[in-house]
Structure 1
Amino acid sequence: MTAATSPALSWETLDLHTAQPFGIARWTHSTYPRTFVTLTHAGLTGQGEAAPNAFYGETRGTVEAVLPLLADALSDPWDWDGLHARLSARMPHDHPSVKCALEMAAVEWCAQAAGVPVWRLLGLSPAPLPESSYTVSIADTAAMRTQARDAVARGHGVLKVKLGTDRDEAILEALREEAPHAALRVDANAAWTRTQARRMLGVLDAARVEFVEQPLAAGDLDGHAALRAVSTVPIVADESLHHVSDVIALACAFDGVNLKLAKLGGPLQALAAMRLARAHGLQVMMGCMIESSLGIAAAAHLAGACDWADLDGALLLADDPFTGLEWQAGHLTRPTGTGWGVRRA
């Protein structure tokens, strides 16, 4: 391509804010810096979102430092195989959320050029999305009861309960009482010891929990395998999954995996992880970070091929800069417009 026709890459970082402080076992935050990239070429645009997470070695600063090194990485938006090689060659470290943003932008640009939604460009089924869970984040027990009560009143039938406190059993019992008919899922965010996890198995079973996500430390595959051997509740990996290649080892210790575009490096990487997980007998959840409707839309295009969905990230925001997603309580409709199907508000 000549310089006059080369794709142009631009970006901006916005601080997004949750309507209420969002707490997990590791931290509580209410401000989330998100960097939005735009690929412009031949009158078409592709958009992507970087949602950095310190657990995976990224911050606002690392995202903003590395993006200037990647201005020519999307010289050919159709060269998806070559994209990650070019990104890795230019990056001093992994930077999965940056890879995600650029891959999102390239894929959407191609879908815009083809005049189709991304899910159709990728050859995915138009099957309805699984009902998404709505997250009850860590707070005092009364506040968590209120979160659950309000979510159920808005029509959410699946609640994801964040645990990893010194009162987990009481929290779970309170929320089961507050939402007796809701499906409950639990996410410990790697906070439990092996002893705590063993003790909680009976509590999870009594509360009719559908599955527990990442009970133990990310690197403790032996502990997860031992827990899985005695658990009646399926165990799903999140923090243990960083790269597509991790799936193979996880199949020996988990029943399922939580795929997040921002930690895996984009929609194409998530799709590869999904197919590898299926080949190894794992169930699959499409998850998210706290992200705008742009990041959630990208995940939604893949979620119809998953068993479970946890795509409430944008619902938790007070200032979502994108619009276009359609929700009916916990049911997200796959976007139907070209590309990701969302636009700046």
Structure 2
Amino acid sequence: MRPTVAAVHTAAISLQVHPDLVVTGARGTHARSDFLLVRVVTSTGVEGYGEVSATPLWSGEDGVSSAHFIREILAPALVGRPLVPVGGLELLMDRLLAGNPFTKAGVSIALWDAFARTLDVPLTVALGGPYRDEVPIKLSLSGDAAALDSVFRAATGAGFQAFKVKVGLGVAGDVARVSRARELAGPGAFLGADANGGWTRSQAARAIPALAQQGVSFVEQPVAPADLDGMRQLRNLGLPVIADESVFGLADLAALVRAEAADCVSLYVGKSGGPGRAVEMGRLASSFGVDTLLGSNGELGIGAAAQLHVACALPALSPEFPSDIIGAHYYTEDILAEPLDSDGRRVKLGDSPGLGVRPRADLMRKFQ
């Protein structure tokens, strides 16, 4: 007998970013995150876990709206339906709720986790992998002068050796910030720049050559998300261009590919609407010669585990650019009973079924 979805529970949680790692960029300051954890229980008693990691300033979603949509719209439609195929349940959620990819991704992660646990295989196997068992990672640096120095000390203290610097705040200040980051990191350290769409075309055209002289390896989202023509033109200035805010779903990715607007795409499990769709997008990108990496919306341990399994399920993950699977490194506490195997340089895949992680016991009691 095929398992069905028996229940969908949620638990709200809010965490403070480690004070020395607070990120300030062109889209604002990220000092605290509100999340919604999701638990799916099947008719056979298998549990799967998910995470809605949505920041209103960035995505327009938050834990309150996610809890309402899951409780009132998604859960009533999912309960009683067969767990397999998970893709069919994702299509059902699309028919019931427009937009809100991070909310639907939180449920999707839990459904995929339950499915993989039912099969008694790691999630990456259920997604078609693994093609690798560890993923190199990097951390964002932001701030100026003493603030940047403090962030760098905290980042290297956590083991990080690869970084991207938040820019898009004014060309002169951006160049100075990257110059200081290069001085701190040393000439051989991996260093990228992330503008979060904060530059105009003319600002980007001035900034990118100056950043290239600092040995920067890429520039991420240099101009506004919709300015694909501008991104294509900026690819001629000597640095690879990574698209982030320009690409949420498959339609965005197709437009980016047609416009030849980027060398690499930063995939999110949340932006994509779930793990299966993130893998689908990564495979499509690679078929057109566009690299992929796993970007971050400040995911917690469950979301970071989903990132890891997706990254390991991608046939082609960028060999040049580290991913942003930062998990508990970014926050003052971890939500997992057992942390991911991460030392700041890479995060390593385990062999437990599903995501291979569970929330702490005290958080389990919060599910409603």
**TM-score, with normalisation over the residues of structure 1?**
0.94
Quick one: distance in 2 between partners of 1:213 and 1:170?
A: 18
Quick one: distance in 1 between partners of 2:132 and 2:70?
A: 36
Greater displacement, 149-158 / 272-281 = 149-158
Q: Return the match for 1:48 from 30, 47, 50.
A: 50
Q: Return the match for 1:76 from 82, 86, 98.
A: 82
| Superposed CA offset, 1:51-86 (max 9, x none) | 113233212332122112111325222122311221
Shift of 1:6: 5.0
Quick one: distance in 1 between partners of 2:31 and 2:4?
A: 41
Unaligned runs of at least 5 residues, structure 2: 361-368
Seq. identity, %: 30
Check 1:329–1:51 CA distance in 2 against 1; reply closer, same or farther (3 A cut): closer
| Superposed CA offset, 1:296-331 (max 9, x none) | 001101213311311114311112211330112311
8 A Cα contact 1:16 1:320, kept in partner: no
Unaligned runs of at least 5 residues, structure 1: none
* Residue type at the aligned position of 1:318: T
Per the alignment, residue 116 of structure 1 pairs with 121
Greater displacement, 6-15 / 255-264 = 6-15
Q: Return the match for 1:95 from 96, 100, 109.
A: 100
Quick one: distance in 2 between partners of 1:288 and 1:120?
A: 22
Written as runs of structure 1 = structure 2, the 5 A alignment for 1:217-228 is 217-228=224-235
Q: Secondary structure at the match of 1:104?
A: helix
Shift of 1:5: 6.7
8 A Cα contact 1:104 1:298, kept in partner: yes
Check if 1:202 corresponds to 2:209: yes
Root-mean-square deviation over aligned CA pairs:
1.9
Q: Return the match for 1:324 from 318, 339, 345.
A: 339
| Superposed CA offset, 1:101-155 (max 9, x none) | 111111111111111110112221241333101111x323321122223423443
8 A Cα contact 2:25 2:169, kept in partner: no
Q: Secondary structure at the match of 1:257?
A: strand
Check if 1:312 corresponds to 2:326: yes
Check if 1:193 corresponds to 2:195: no
8 A Cα contact 1:289 1:313, kept in partner: no
| Superposed CA offset, 1:240-287 (max 9, x none) | 001122212212111110000111101011001101100111011111
Quick one: distance in 2 between partners of 1:183 and 1:5?
A: 47
* Residue type at the aligned position of 2:307: A
**TM-score, with normalisation over the residues of structure 2?**
0.88
8 A Cα contact 1:324 1:343, kept in partner: no
* Residue type at the aligned position of 2:264: G
Per the alignment, residue 160 of structure 1 pairs with 164
